[in-house]
Amino acid sequence: MPRPLHLNPDRLFPADPATRAIARALYESVAGLPIISPHGHTDPAWFAGNAAFGNATELLLVPDHYVFRMLYSQGIALEQLGVGNPGVDPRAAWRLFAGHYHLFRGTPSRLWLDWVFAEVFGLTTRLDADTADSHYDSITAALATDGFRPRALFDRFGIEVIATTESPLDTLAHHQSILNDNRAGRWQGKVITAYRPDAVIDPDHEDFRANLARFSELSGEDCFSWQGYLAAHRRRRADFKAVGATSSDHGHPTAQTTNLSSPDAEALFHRISRSQATAADAELFRAQMLTEMAAMSLDDGLVMQIHPGSFRNHNAQLFARLGRDKGADIPTRTDFVHALKPLLDRFGNESALSIILFTLDETAYARELAPLAGHYPCLKLGPAWWFHDSPEGMRRFRRATTETAGFANTVGFNDDTRAFLSIPARHDVARRIDCSVLAELVAEHQLEDWEAAELAHDLTSTLVRKAYRL
């Protein structure tokens, strides 16, 4: 017999009844605020073309590395799920997923997916092997209707603005199309981009030299010369700003920065661009480019996001077979105090510069990140990210950073996701956890109730608008 799917209205609130009541009241004051999604990886083609999503597997399973990495860890081949295998039977892939849905108990993926099933599709039974087909049919049938097209869902979810993330090699045609529709009054959804230059900054990228050639074509600059390469970044950043970008994003292996002299930087780039670089040269170049990007941000006003500390594509065999972003990125230890000092020596006291720091190394929160952000005017702390975008990860983030950095040196929440339908669920979890943390401070008489109410609004709306200049 199918098991009922029920979302408890007090989920994630404190167990103590008095504290729970405070959290509930705080949450009710912010639950209906618009969603501001300042950093993520949804596909702008969805919003430009507004085509119907195909089926449940294509939308909810294949793009979501949170989901398929768990299944892979239990011995299920990604190709069986449709990852890198468009010829798979989508219903068979969904049945395989549904039959293993119990693996997600206690994970944030379970929270997000249950919300999607219940709130977006109105399903009333839990996903399992017995309900696989009925869920698949209900979801796929709904996706064929106009009310489930990307723009309709964007409006239904109460999204005020969403940022996607594009490479400098992107033509930005989808963003230009959306902007044209905005101007013509055909749709008012605000979809902006963010400048993610890793593909032309990381010498270890497998297509680095080809990317430099394409970078030259798009920018009209000679990207095999140092000055031309820097000019190309400036030109493309301006192109991104023209379609709404307010931020850049940098996913380097480490947070290392440096501040080379112009001749030394040019000599380094000469080696890099001619594939004569050592591993040390590659790291030094990435370090120099973080400093160069900070200089450009000070000039053009783009907020700079640094997402370091992931060993990308750790599974070499999987990478060789299926390519990037297949759930095999693994967190590493990350130094910030020493790594960022060259950049901060040059720009740390510039209040006009805004750099948002993220980490996958939670040991750095209290020891390094909160003290840095609690001092340098240019630094803010990004929310709990990726592997720590979870109820406990969010609690750990607040408890490790608030005493040193306060709330004001953080930037609210961003969902950082490719899974469009989970965005409201993720923001809902963040609001519930922040309200729970604030409720505990009220219950312990560290905050007045009115202060907590103000902070709940700040953490949901005010800080993210300010941090991302929206």
- Does the pLDDT at position 224 exceed 90? yes
Categorize the per-residue pLDDT at 84 as very low, low, confident or very high, splitting at 50, 70 and 90. Answer: very high
Question: What pLDDT score does 277 carry?
Answer: 87
Distance CA 433, CA 184 (A): 40
pLDDT band at 194 (very low <50, low <70, confident <90, very high): very high
Question: Is the C-alpha dihedral spanning 391, 394, 400, 404 positive or negative?
Answer: negative
Domains of the chain by residue range: 17-50+156-467, 52-148
In tens, the pLDDT along 134-169 reads 999 999 999 999 999 999 999 999 999 999 999 999
399: Cβ contacts below 8 Å, ≥ 6 apart: 437
**Confidence at residue 326, expressed as pLDDT on a 0 to 100 scale:** 87
Please name the fold of domain 17-50+156-467. Answer: TIM Barrel (3.20.20)
| pLDDT band per the 50, 70, 90 thresholds, residue 331 | very high
Cα–Cα dist 87/43, whole Å? 21
Whether 365 shows a pLDDT value over 90: the answer reads yes
- State the pLDDT confidence band at 17, using cuts at 50, 70 and 90: very high
pLDDT digit string, tens, across residues 229-266: 999 999 999 999 999 999 999 999 999 999 999 999 99
Distance (Å, rounded) from C-alpha 94 to C-alpha 113? 14
Q: Which numeric CATH code is attached to 52-148?
A: 1.10.2020.10
**Mean pLDDT across 339-356:** 98
Mean pLDDT of the chain: 97
In the predicted model, is pLDDT for residue 381 greater than 90?
Answer: yes
DSSP-assigned letter for residue 11 = T
Give the C-alpha distances (Å, rounded to integers) separating 436 from 12, 17, 264, 306, 365: 8, 12, 51, 28, 20
Q: How far apart are CA 335 and CA 359, in angstroms?
A: 10
